[in-house]
């Protein structure tokens, strides 16, 4: 299904993916009693943050992410998406790592888990990273900086 | 030990599948959403909307539970203060997200899709996290 006015959009696939992400986060919350915040769980797995989440659990969650992706790609015939050049990925990754630790979360912890709980901190954090994300892409486009192949 | 591992493993796997189905492991799709003033692609809004709706229901259920199904206690954030650290960090994160079109979840999930590219992003991200840890 396509969306009028947005020929590239995949609303149904997006919604289906979103519902799965919500179910995964709900399983973490109602099953393990934790927030499914990827940046925090990753930091915990690699010993870069203190948390009451057992480290083995943090590792299990992180390892699950590519396993889930592999399931999907093995069942579909989508072409491999294009990624930015190594130096761009390194710069972006560094900024994401610093920002998510200082900001105590990312798209999953603040965006999915926090916003759905109407957490004031998460609403402000999500609005902030959305705005700087929009501004970053707008500025790069204005200067003609393309990063994807 | 088994329940401490299996629940997060299942959650991570479902999460990674959802990210991939929703197109979030494709940086072009994420940057398309962030390109609000250009050829805007609203797909990420559907991903976020679907996830938030399901989680909103989960929070309603959580309030009626004394303890989690497979763990002894809920360990949830309880802070409500808006700090420069929260806002500055989130602002930085948005910049990094916009540059390459990747956030932490899709970064790990993409290890199964474009291992070399994803590994560079993840390694740099962990280095950034280490830098904050050492601050």
B-chain residues within 8 Å CB-CB of A41? 8
Domain count along chain B? 1
Average pLDDT over residues B27-38: 96
Residue B92 near chain A (CB below 8 Å):
yes
Nearest-neighbour CA in chain A from B66: distance (Å): 10
CB contact under 8 A, B12 and A65: yes
CB contact under 8 A, B5 and A60: yes
From the list A9, A26, A94, the residue facing B54 with the nearest CB is: A26
Is B133 a residue whose pLDDT tops 90?
Answer: yes
Average pLDDT over residues A11-22: 97
pLDDT band at B7 (very low <50, low <70, confident <90, very high): very high
Please give the ipTM for the structure prediction: 0.97
- Tell me the per-residue pLDDT of A60-82, one tens digit each, with 9 for 90 and over: 999 999 999 999 999 987 788 99
Single out the residue of A94, A75, A97, A77 nearest to residue A86, CA to CA. Answer: A94
- Tell me the per-residue pLDDT of A87-119, one tens digit each, with 9 for 90 and over: 999 999 999 999 999 999 999 999 999 999 999
pLDDT at site B66: 96
- Across chain A, mean pLDDT equals 95
pLDDT at site B78: 92
- Across chain B, mean pLDDT equals 96
CB contact under 8 A, A34 and B76: yes
Enter the tokens of residue B42: 């609203």
Q: Which of B2, B4, B33, B50 to mutate to test the interface with A (most CBs of A within 10 A)?
A: B50
What share of chain A has pLDDT > 70, as a percent? 99
Query: Is there a contact between B33 and B101 (Cβ–Cβ < 8 Å)?
Result: no
Question: How many contacts does A have with B, using Cβ atoms within 8 A?
Answer: 517
- Tell me the per-residue pLDDT of B85-123, one tens digit each, with 9 for 90 and over: 999 999 999 999 999 999 999 999 999 999 999 999 999
pLDDT at site A1: 60
CB contact under 8 A, A99 and B91: yes
Nearest-neighbour CA in chain A from B33: distance (Å): 8
Residue corresponding to tokens 């912890």: A109
Average pLDDT over residues B50-65: 98
Name the residue ranges covered by the structural domains of chain A.
11-142
CB contact under 8 A, A64 and B9: yes
A-chain residues within 8 Å CB-CB of B101? 84, 147-148
Which residues, 6+ apart, have CB-to-CB distance to B96 below 8 Å? Answer: A91, A92, A93, A94, A95, A96, A97, A99
pLDDT at site A77: 76
Residue B119 near chain A (CB below 8 Å):
no
pLDDT band at A8 (very low <50, low <70, confident <90, very high): confident
């Amino acid at each position: 299904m396509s969306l009028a006015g947005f020929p590239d959009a995949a609303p149904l696939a997006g919604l289906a993916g979103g519902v799965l992400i919500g179910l995964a986060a709900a399983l973490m919350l109602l099953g393990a009693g934790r927030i499914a915040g990827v940046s925090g769980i990753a930091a915990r797995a690699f010993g870069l943050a203190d948390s009451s989440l057992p480290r083995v659990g943090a590792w299990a969650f992180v390892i699950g992410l590519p396993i889930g992706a592999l399931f999907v790609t093995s069942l579909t015939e989508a072409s491999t998406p294009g990624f930015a050049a190594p130096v761009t990925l390194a710069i972006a990754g560094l900024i994401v790592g610093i920002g998510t630790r200082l900001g105590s979360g990312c798209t999953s912890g603040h965006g999915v888990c926090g916003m759905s709980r109407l957490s004031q901190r998460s609403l402000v954090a999500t609005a902030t990273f959305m705005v700087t994300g929009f501004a970053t892409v707008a500025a790069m486009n204005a200067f003609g900086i393309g990063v994807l192949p | 030990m088994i329940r401490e591992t299996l629940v997060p493993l299942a959650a991570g796997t479902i999460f990674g599948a959802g990210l991939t189905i929703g197109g979030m492991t494709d940086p072009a799709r994420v940057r398309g959403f962030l390109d609000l003033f250009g050829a805007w692609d609203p797909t990420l809004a559907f991903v976020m909307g679907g996830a938030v709706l399901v989680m909103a229901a989960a929070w309603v259920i959580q309030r009626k539970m004394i303890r989690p199904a497979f763990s002894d206690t809920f360990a949830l954030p309880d802070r409500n203060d808006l700090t420069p650290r929260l806002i500055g960090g989130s602002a930085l994160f948005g910049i990094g997200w916009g540059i390459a079109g990747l956030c932490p979840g899709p970064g790990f999930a993409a290890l199964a899709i474009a291992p070399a590219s994803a590994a560079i992003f993840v390694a740099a991200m962990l280095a950034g996290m280490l830098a904050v840890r050492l601050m």
